[in-house]
């Protein structure tokens, strides 16, 4: 096995993700397996699974081949959500899990999400860089042969959920479930039966995913969900991304409930039970989350954006809950990992216990802290754009935060943050204010005008500038 000549562009900060077959293919998967086993000194079994993409089956097969050539016994989970891999990593004898998925990306992408024992995250800084260098050098483990075992772990996983919700019977109004043709239904359908929940599905079957990908907050897909819910009588709607580790919610009218307020809602719930607990959060939007943490006596633990970084922070602080603006929700009760299934059932439980609907539960928080939707910018000179924004706003800012990007707290009770995406060639812009929506829109419009000379896309940002 010779050295790899390409730049291995599929290696990202938090996982592996690239175009198939140009950046990730069967040869890449075999070589990745050899390097992964060697660098992390894996001796026990490794669980592998896949999402619904056409390329996922051949990539998982190649991954299994490389693991077995490295002397590893493989537990094949088959078609499954990513969270089933995290669960598998906590089972006896399984030292790691690798799920073949590109999450919400369009169908031409694929990748790997990896976890070590007990759901410990793997990032570029915590091992993937060394794996990349081993692949580049053409590393190959001594030839041997591990075994392959196909295992349906879902019954054990459902038992796990049964134990977590044993003391809180789940009752709900009619629920609209949207799997976006990802892997959600492979688990959710069993949980629906287990908890006797009244549901109707939209985009249930795994694959093919929508042409634009399976991002549940994509405006076009949000509009489809609203139209679907308007055709029926639903109390709440739930949608997952392609590999089911992101979860978003819709009110009874089919309107998307911003994840920012769901994070606050769940943080409040867990702090009521775990006084003094740690809450992990990303800082793209943070005022509402910090208000909740202070009000309920919690400890804030800001994290870099990205599932691998959030999981690492969850483990580091033994946090009770973590919430990310991208709709990943992390739970101490789920080994510090993110789970779209756990998030869904926790919100149903919360609604059931409170007697209020989801709109009522977040109304007061939305009135105190308002925000705009996240705006994604494609820029031709990101460094220069960032420099111009910094020079314009730094002098007047009450505070400049350099953690995971840039954050500016401005006079007039408004704030904005800029982040380079870790999975796409985009910049994420988020804005919030303390109950002054008109002022926020005015300041936001001025900010967006400064980006216009650097834009490479044709979308008018002002179309997205509204209060959520």
Q: Which of 336, 368, 400 lies at the terminal end of a domain, its last residue?
A: 368
Torsion of CA 168, 170, 172, 175, to 10 degrees: 140
Nearest in space to 239 (alpha carbons), one of 221, 253, 263: 221
User: How many other C-beta atoms can be found within 10 angstroms of the C-beta atom of residue 175?
Assistant: 19
Residue 310 and residue 194 share a domain:
no
Instruction: Specify the pLDDT at position 324.
Output: 97
Instruction: Specify the pLDDT at position 463.
Output: 53
- pLDDT at residue 206 is higher than 70: yes
CA–CA dist 276, 61 (Å, integer): 46
Per-residue b/e over 239-276, b at no fewer than 16 CB within 10 Å?
bbbbbbbbbbbbbbebebbbbbbbbbbbbbbbbeebee
Residue 374 and residue 447 share a domain:
yes
What are the pLDDT digits (tens) for 322-378? 999 999 999 999 999 999 999 999 999 999 999 999 999 999 999 999 999 999 899
CA–CA dist 161, 124 (Å, integer): 32
Instruction: Specify the pLDDT at position 441.
Output: 96
Per-residue b/e over 344-361, b at no fewer than 16 CB within 10 Å?
bbbbbbbbeeeeeebeeb
In a domain, 468, yes or no: no
In a domain, 162, yes or no: no
Q: What angle do CA 354, 355, 359 make, to 5 degrees?
A: 85
In a domain, 350, yes or no: yes
- pLDDT at residue 320 is higher than 80: yes
Q: Which of 208, 235, 257 lies at the terminal end of a domain, its last residue?
A: 257
Instruction: Specify the pLDDT at position 14.
Output: 87
Instruction: Specify the pLDDT at position 461.
Output: 53
CA–CA dist 135, 113 (Å, integer): 17
In a domain, 3, yes or no: no
| Cα 289 versus chain centre, distance | 18
Instruction: Specify the pLDDT at position 3.
Output: 56
The continuous run of DSSP H or E covering 150 comes out as strand 148-150
The continuous run of DSSP H or E covering 46 comes out as strand 45-50
Average pLDDT over the chain, rounded to whole?
94
DSSP 465: -
Q: Which of 368, 403, 423 lies at the terminal end of a domain, its last residue?
A: 368
Average pLDDT over residues 2-13: 74
Containing domain of residue 186, as a range? 169-257
Nearest in space to 405 (alpha carbons), one of 424, 386, 380: 386
- pLDDT at residue 98 is higher than 80: yes
What are the pLDDT digits (tens) for 155-201? 999 999 999 998 887 888 999 999 999 999 999 999 999 999 999 99
- pLDDT at residue 6 is higher than 60: no
Confidence of residue 424 (pLDDT cuts 50, 70, 90): confident
What are the pLDDT digits (tens) for 73-88? 999 999 999 999 999 9
In a domain, 5, yes or no: no
Residue 174 and residue 133 share a domain:
no
Average pLDDT over residues 434-455: 94
Residue 322 and residue 290 share a domain:
yes
Instruction: Specify the pLDDT at position 168.
Output: 81
- What are the catalytic residues? 103
CA dihedral sign of residues 274, 278, 284, 290:
positive
CA–CA dist 333, 318 (Å, integer): 10
Domain count, the chain: 4
Instruction: Specify the pLDDT at position 73.
Output: 98
What are the pLDDT digits (tens) for 239-270? 999 999 999 999 999 999 999 999 999 999 99
Tell me the pairing of strands 375-377 and 148-150.
unpaired
Confidence of residue 13 (pLDDT cuts 50, 70, 90): confident
Tokens of 168: 């809180």
Instruction: Specify the pLDDT at position 391.
Output: 96
């Amino acid at each position: 096995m010779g050295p790899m000549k390409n730049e291995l562009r599929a290696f990202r900060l938090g996982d592996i993700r690239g175009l198939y077959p140009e950046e990730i293919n069967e040869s890449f998967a075999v070589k990745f397996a050899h390097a992964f086993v060697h660098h992390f000194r894996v001796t026990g079994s490794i669980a592998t699974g896949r999402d619904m993409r056409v390329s996922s089956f051949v990539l998982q097969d190649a991954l299994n081949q490389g693991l077995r050539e490295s002397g590893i016994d493989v537990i094949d989970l088959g078609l499954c959500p990513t969270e089933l891999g995290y669960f598998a990593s906590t089972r006896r004898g399984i030292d790691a899990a690798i799920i073949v998925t590109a999450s919400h990306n369009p169908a031409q992408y694929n990748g790997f999400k990896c976890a070590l024992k007990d759901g410990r995250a793997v990032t570029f800084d915590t091992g993937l860089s060394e794996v990349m260098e081993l692949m580049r050098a053409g590393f190959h483990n001594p030839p041997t042969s591990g075994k392959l075992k196909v295992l349906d772990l879902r019954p054990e996983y459902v038992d796990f959920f049964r134990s977590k919700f044993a003391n809180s019977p789940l009752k709900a109004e009619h629920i609209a479930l949207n799997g976006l043709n990802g892997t959600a239904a492979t688990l959710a359908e069993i949980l629906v039966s287990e908890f006797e929940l009244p549901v109707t599905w939209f985009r249930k079957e795994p694959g093919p995913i929508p042409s634009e990908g399976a991002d549940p907050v994509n405006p076009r897909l949000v509009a489809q969900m609203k139209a679907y819910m308007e055709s029926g009588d639903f109390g709440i709607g739930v949608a997952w991304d392609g590999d089911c580790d992101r979860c978003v919610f819709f009110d009874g009218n089919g309107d998307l409930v911003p994840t920012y307020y769901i994070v606050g809602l769940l943080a409040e719930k867990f702090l009521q039970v775990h006084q003094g607990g740690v809450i992990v959060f990303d800082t793209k939007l943070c005022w509402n989350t910090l208000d909740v943490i202070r009000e309920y006596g919690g400890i804030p633990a800001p994290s870099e954006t990205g599932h691998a970084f959030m999981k690492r922070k969850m483990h580091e602080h033994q946090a009770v809950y973590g919430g990310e603006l991208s709709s990943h929700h992390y739970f101490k009760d789920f080994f510090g990992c993110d789970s779209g299934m756990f998030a869904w059932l926790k919100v149903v439980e919360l609604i059931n216990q409170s007697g209020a609907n989801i709109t009522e539960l977040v109304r007061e928080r939305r009135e105190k802290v308002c925000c705009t939707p996240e705006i994604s910018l494609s820029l031709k000179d990101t460094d220069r754009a960032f420099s111009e924004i910094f020079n314009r706003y730094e002098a007047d800012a009450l505070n400049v935060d350099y953690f995971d990007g840039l954050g500016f707290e401005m006079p007039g009770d408004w704030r904005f943050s800029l982040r380079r995406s870790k999975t796409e060639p985009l910049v994420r812009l988020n804005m919030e204010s303390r109950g002054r929506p008109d002022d926020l829109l005015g300041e936001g419009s001025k900010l967006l005008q400064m980006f216009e000379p650097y834009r490479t896309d044709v979308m008018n940002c002002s179309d997205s500038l509204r209060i959520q």
